[in-house]
Amino acid sequence: MYVIVFPYLYTMTNKEIIELLKEQIQASNKREAELLARINELTQEIASLKEALLKKGESLGRQQRIAKGLAKLVSCQSEKQDMPAGIISDDEQERKERERAAARKERGNNGAKRDMHYEMETVEHDVYPEDEGFDRQKARLLSEKQRISIRYEFVPMRFIKHVYRIHVYTQEGCILEGKTPPSAFFNSSYDASFVAGLLELRYLHSMPVERIVSYFSHHGFNLHKPTAHKLITRASETLENLYSAIRKQVLSDDYLECDETYYRILVPEKNAKGKGVKKGYLWTIVGMKSRMMYVLYEDGSRSTGVIVDELAGYKGTLQSDGYTAYRTLQGEEYPSIERIACLQHVKRKFIDCGEDPQAKMMVSLMNGLYMKEHKHKVGKDGWTIEDNLRHREEYSPPILENIKEELQKIRNDSSLPPSSELAAAAVYMENEWKAIEGIFKRGDTELDNNKVERYNRYFSISRRNSLFFGSHAGAGRAAILYTIALSCKMHEVDFFEYLKSVLEKTAEWQPNSPLEKYRELLPDKFKDK
């Protein structure tokens, strides 16, 4: 509080001075009371505005600006009575409410925002009144801004029959004739787009051939089931070199993820239940750097020899679950292969133990590894592989040490039945321990092989829809076509457009064309075009 002393005070008595000061204090108190009252009014107003804004889903930033204005007033940083930042006048608020109400009424959808789908082909129409007697020459336009109404149209699948009339001429002793566009296959009436559409429905959308035939029929094209199978067969034969080129590219990757899954196969031999069905296994191998994958099918075998023969000459890191076939590849016979574990497979073993305290402790410790790992991501905010390796070397040793101590407690517990789920989980982890530690020796590996498992779901969905492959040969064809389809998926390449382009380009290639030629057609190259 400031007291202003004027020169004439020197001529006043002490009593007069005291009375004058009392008046000044009273005036100051009155001013302070007025300011406090104003602050209380503003506080109430702000509280009501905050409530209204919350109801209307306004942004947090706006609320923060209001709170900041309130804090400034309460702390008496300023005695100015201007409207705090973020607060609008009653007239302005009313105007905005009217605009929002008008917009809601125009949308007619209770104020919900709609997707505008700017990526779509758009056709614009001018709509004029159709009232009797309406004359655009006589009528006066009320507003230059038209009301917009949107409708989305679905155009069903279309089939077009192209008839080429080939004209033949003779000129200067030579016979000249028109040339038709190349067919997907020699002497075939089906072009690349037809085959690409068929394969997309079968191997990306997991539709059985019988259902595809029915779908085509509903849209005006009668495709016989044997013809559909024949087109799939010829496509797999045509694309076999492309499949080999993808395989070669994947195996050149220094970091692979592997997994296998089953599919039912129809076979001539009857099983114990009198059914000609057996389990056949598809092996999926993903190149984590190249972002391509290929599917291996060897007459449905799941034997160790299949994957060992396939990867015996591989040099790099292999990530897998603890299946014996993969563990074989980490032996002394294969010094060029560093196998690392899938931490999710290890964790699931303990999750399956239910409410066991020791199992829950192990799950919690492994979750701690994921929590530390997710603090950073290679490629984000300048975080490099080297940075991630240093981060792993810092956080992983103490957590792994705690896990190992808990593991030893479980293994040393003589009261634990060997047949229990907890004992089995501990044995599995113990067998995988070296491979678990190996995860943290590089800065660019995953903690698990969930990526390859996600792509294996395509087989699971297809298995549920199609029930089985008709033969080992059919499963082999599927391996080729799934390889191409899912490699496109990994590169976010449109499978239909890609396959159409490849079939058109390779229609006249010789079967013995070198793989280097097909390398230029792989999905990673297609994306750049």
* CATH (domain of 265): 3.30.420
User: Would 90 be classed as within a structural domain?
Assistant: yes
User: Would 465 be classed as within a structural domain?
Assistant: yes
Closest CA to 346 of 485, 229, 439, 471: 439
- Long-range CB contacts for residues 242-245, cutoff 8 Å, separation at least 24: 242/484, 242/502, 242/506, 242/518, 242/521, 242/522, 243/294, 243/479, 243/480, 243/483, 243/484, 244/515, 244/518, 245/515, 245/518, 245/519, 245/521, 245/522
Question: In the predicted model, what is the mean pLDDT of residues 325-332?
Answer: 91
Question: In the predicted model, what is the mean pLDDT of residues 478-503?
Answer: 95
pLDDT at site 63: 53
Which residue type does 170 have? Answer: T
Question: In the predicted model, what is the mean pLDDT of residues 132-138?
Answer: 87
Residues 408, 409, 412: CA angle, nearest 5 degrees: 80
CA 325 – CA 303 distance, rounded (Å): 7
How large is the C-alpha radius of gyration of the chain? 37
Strands (E), 204-315: 255-266, 277-287, 292-296
pLDDT at site 85: 44
Per-residue CA distances from 491 to 449, 496, 525 (Å): 18, 14, 10
304 Cβ neighbours under 8 A, 6+ residues apart: 324, 325, 328
Question: In the predicted model, what is the mean pLDDT of residues 139-155?
Answer: 83
Q: Has residue 298 got a pLDDT over 50?
A: yes
Which domain-ending residue is among 64, 95, 126? 95
CA 422 – CA 352 distance, rounded (Å): 8
User: Would 297 be classed as within a structural domain?
Assistant: yes
pLDDT at site 86: 45
Which domain-ending residue is among 34, 68, 95? 95
User: Tokens 């089953």 sit at which residue?
Assistant: 262
Q: Are 307 and 325 in contact (CB under 8 A)?
A: yes
Region for residue 377 given its phi and psi (left: phi exceeds 0; alpha: psi -120 to 50; beta: otherwise) = beta
- Would you call 462 helix, strand, or coil by DSSP? helix
Q: Which residue has the higher pLDDT, 112 or 356?
A: 356
Question: In the predicted model, what is the mean pLDDT of residues 271-276?
Answer: 79
Q: What is Dmax (Cα atoms) for the chain? A: 137
User: Would 145 be classed as within a structural domain?
Assistant: no
CA 516 – CA 513 distance, rounded (Å): 8
User: Would 460 be classed as within a structural domain?
Assistant: yes
Q: Are 406 and 358 in contact (CB under 8 A)?
A: yes
pLDDT at site 80: 41
Q: Has residue 90 got a pLDDT over 80?
A: no
Percent of the chain with pLDDT over 90: 58
Q: Has residue 73 got a pLDDT over 70?
A: no
CA 382 – CA 419 distance, rounded (Å): 49
User: Would 389 be classed as within a structural domain?
Assistant: no
156-212 pLDDT tens trace: 888 999 999 999 888 888 899 998 887 888 888 999 999 999 999 999 999 999 999
Closest CA to 339 of 322, 353, 360, 356: 322
Which residue type does 511 have? Answer: P
pLDDT at site 5: 47
Residue 89 confidence class, pLDDT cut points 50, 70, 90 = low
Closest CA to 486 of 454, 461, 516, 518: 454
Per-residue CA distances from 13 to 9, 17, 69 (Å): 8, 6, 46
Q: Which residue has the higher pLDDT, 92 or 153?
A: 153
DSSP letter (8 states) at residue 55: H
Q: Strands 174-177, 277-287: parallel, antiparallel or unpaired by DSSP? A: unpaired
pLDDT at site 345: 96
User: Would 26 be classed as within a structural domain?
Assistant: yes
pLDDT at site 104: 57
Q: Has residue 299 got a pLDDT over 70?
A: yes
Q: Has residue 62 got a pLDDT over 60?
A: no
Q: Taking all residues of the chain, what is their mean pLDDT, rounded to a whole number?
A: 85
Closest CA to 477 of 263, 312, 325, 304: 263
The stretches of 356-471 forming alpha helices (DSSP H) are 357-373, 385-411, 421-438, 450-466
Q: Has residue 489 got a pLDDT over 50?
A: yes
Q: Are 422 and 359 in contact (CB under 8 A)?
A: yes
Q: Are 297 and 476 in contact (CB under 8 A)?
A: yes
Range of the domain at 307: 237-342+449-526
pTM: 0.74
Please state, as a whole number, how many other Cβ atoms lie within 10 Å of the Cβ of residue 525: 12
254 Cβ neighbours under 8 A, 6+ residues apart: 289, 315, 316, 317
CA 499 – CA 196 distance, rounded (Å): 6
Q: Has residue 55 got a pLDDT over 90?
A: no
Tokens describing residue 211: 């259902």
CA 487 – CA 461 distance, rounded (Å): 18
Q: Has residue 78 got a pLDDT over 50?
A: no
Which domain-ending residue is among 95, 122, 139? 95
Structural domain tally of the chain?
Answer: 2
Residue 25 confidence class, pLDDT cut points 50, 70, 90 = confident
CA 478 – CA 57 distance, rounded (Å): 50
- Would you call 74 helix, strand, or coil by DSSP? helix
Tokens describing residue 304: 């160790």
* Residue 279, phi then psi, degrees to nearest 5: -80, 130
User: Would 296 be classed as within a structural domain?
Assistant: yes
Question: In the predicted model, what is the mean pLDDT of residues 454-476?
Answer: 93
Query: Which residues are 260's β-sheet partners?
Result: 283
